[in-house]
Amino acid sequence: MKNLFLILSLLIPLSAFCQVQDRTFNHPDKTEYPSKMPSKEHVWIFILAGQSNMAGRAFVEPNDTISNHRILSINSKSEIILAKEPLHFYEPKMSGLDCGMAFSIEILKHIPDSISVLLIPTAVGGSAIDKWVNDSIHRNVKLFSNFKDKVELAKKYGTIKAILWHQGESDAKPLLITTYKNKLQALFKKFRNIIDNQNLPILTGNIGFFKEHDSDKKNINQQINAHAFNDPNTYLITTKNFKSVGDNSHFNSKAQRKMGKRFAKKYLKIINY
């Protein structure tokens, strides 16, 4: 038995053990600040919003914490910092890998070298769409007010180019599904009003579909698809075949990086890059 355990320990990556034992194992312990802020006209801003699969619950690997002087974010004090995963700071005990760095890395491959990306995290796990629309306090965050505050902060540093939105797990319930599309439409209208851009691209994706016969998740995804079909400035990416961290709810690290790349490719197609 001991020999079998030794063999398995050699075959299973260290990160797999760390993920079980300590999800913060690879979280950076040092904050880096930009040596010089790029000029406002050279900063493209993307706001990350939604619930836990946008906030990130996946395991952070060392490569996710390598900074790039062209990828910026904010900390809990609203200071501009060099971005590293995890980006979201609202739920410290649950924070993990999201799609933001993967998105930015892919974007930088295709846009002019003079452009920097600023990621603004606003997602909070477990937040139902009603709480966003009604500006409710959820896990000590007043959701829409916080979004508005972060928009005003972001505008000081550059131009808001798009919102990356992922949400719906909390609304995958029979009594909530039928009204979801209309609430999503109302919320996106509020987002665009705050940003003062009625044509602002909002990129979204289906929630994870990990069980073949999960009709509630299938139905909420149909609502998400229907909204994207009817809103010419909402763009949908697929999350088909994404794997979970093992809880049939949250995307794993590989899936988060795929989501980031798919969001990036979708956005680059929108702007013809």
pLDDT in tens, 122-166: 999 999 999 999 999 999 999 999 999 999 999 999 999 999 999
Which residues on neighbouring strands pair with residue 119, listed in sequence order?
Answer: 46
Percentage with pLDDT > 90 across the chain: 86
- Distance, in Å, from the CA atom of 197 to the CA atom of 200, rounded to the nearest integer, reads 5
Q: What is the pLDDT of residue 252?
A: 96
Q: 42-270: what CATH class?
A: alpha beta
pLDDT per residue as tens digits for the range 198-255 = 999 999 999 998 887 789 999 999 999 999 999 999 999 999 899 999 999 999 999 9
- Distance, in Å, from the CA atom of 100 to the CA atom of 107, rounded to the nearest integer, reads 11
The answer to pTM > 0.85 is yes
- Distance, in Å, from the CA atom of 167 to the CA atom of 52, rounded to the nearest integer, reads 8
Residue pair 27/65 in contact by the 8 Å Cβ criterion:
yes
The one-letter code for the residue type at 92 is: P
Q: What is the pLDDT of residue 236?
A: 98
Bin 139: left if φ > 0, else alpha if -120 < ψ < 50, else beta: left
Residue 31, SS3? coil
Residue pair 166/50 in contact by the 8 Å Cβ criterion:
yes
Q: What is the pLDDT of residue 28?
A: 87
The one-letter code for the residue type at 89 is: F
Residue pair 206/238 in contact by the 8 Å Cβ criterion:
yes
Residues constituting the chain: 273
The dihedral built from the CA positions of residue 154, 157, 163 and 165, taken in this order, carries a sign that is negative
Q: What is the pLDDT of residue 11?
A: 46
Radius of gyration of the chain (CA): 19
Q: What is the pLDDT of residue 17?
A: 40
Domains of the chain: which residue ranges?
A: 42-270
Sheet holding 234-237, edge to edge: 80-82, 71-74, 116-121, 43-50, 159-166, 202-205, 234-237
Residue pair 168/222 in contact by the 8 Å Cβ criterion:
no
How distant, in Å, are the alpha carbons of 104, 153, 164 from that of 159? 15, 11, 15
- pLDDT at 19 exceeding the cut of 70: no
> What residue spans of 156-243 are helical by DSSP H?
174-195, 215-230
